[in-house]
């Protein structure tokens, strides 16, 4: 894969740099399963920031800026393994259902439709026999 990307020239270098940045970020986030100490977290965070700074690509620098802005929440995840992914997913379903329900004549119907869309049976977790 690497040789194919390098043969493409500049676009290949950019893709390879983005891939390496993604892998460095994944290495950092993988620490959540190990109960890391601050030293290991800071080592991997520095490796990620260092790579992003040396690529010179604005997209990767923007990724590093986003990680820096969200760092308190990311660090909390690394230590506790607690996220708000479930609530974010349910909020997405609620917004999508509300968009699809545009034109309902009363709020009761809209609430019932949202409740039906967010139950476990509707999402496929429970499959009745």
Within-domain flag for 61: yes
Q: Are 73 and 23 found together in one domain? A: yes
Q: Domain for residue 63, yes or no? A: yes
Band (pLDDT 50/70/90 cuts) for residue 129 is very low
100-109 tens-digit pLDDT: 767 667 778 7
**CA-to-CA dists, residue 114 to 26, 77, 84, angstroms:** 34, 29, 20
| CA 40 to each of CA 3, 10, 46, 66, 119: distance values in angstroms, whole numbers, following the listed order | 31, 33, 10, 21, 40
**What is the mean pLDDT of the segment spanning 16-35?**
92
- At residue 127 the predicted structure's pLDDT band, cuts being 50, 70 and 90, is low
Give yes or no: residues 21 and 75 share one domain. yes
Residue 117 in contact with residue 93, Cβ under 8 Å? yes
Whether residue 54 sits in one domain with residue 22: yes
Q: Determine the longest span between alpha carbons in the chain, in angstroms.
A: 60
Whether the Cβ atoms of residue 125 and residue 119 lie closer than 8 Å to each other: no
- Asked if residue 32 and residue 75 are part of one domain, the reply reads yes
- Tell me if 128 is assigned to some domain: no
In a shared domain, residues 67 and 42 = yes
In this structure, the answer to whether residues 66 and 100 fall within a common structural domain is no
Same domain, 27 and 68: yes
Position 129 in a domain? no
70 and 16 housed in the same domain: yes
Cα–Cα distance for residue pair 121/129, rounded to 1 Å: 12
Residue-level pLDDT at 97: 82
Residue 24: inside a domain? yes
Total count of domains within the chain: 2
Range of 42's domain? Answer: 2-80
Same domain, 96 and 54: no
């Amino acid at each position: 894969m690497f040789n194919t990307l390098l043969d493409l020239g500049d676009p290949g270098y950019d893709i390879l740099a983005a891939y390496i940045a993604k892998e460095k970020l994944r290495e950092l986030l993988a620490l959540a399963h190990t109960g890391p100490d601050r030293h290991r977290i800071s080592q991997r965070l520095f490796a990620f920031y260092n790579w992003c700074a040396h690529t010179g690509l604005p997209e990767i620098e923007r990724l590093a800026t986003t990680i820096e802005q969200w760092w308190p929440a990311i660090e909390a995840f690394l230590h506790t393994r607690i996220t708000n992914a479930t609530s974010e997913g349910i909020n997405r379903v609620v917004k999508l259902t509300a968009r699809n329900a545009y034109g309902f004549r009363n709020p009761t119907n809209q609430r019932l439709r949202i409740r039906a869309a967010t139950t476990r049976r509707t999402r496929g977790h429970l499959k009745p026999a």
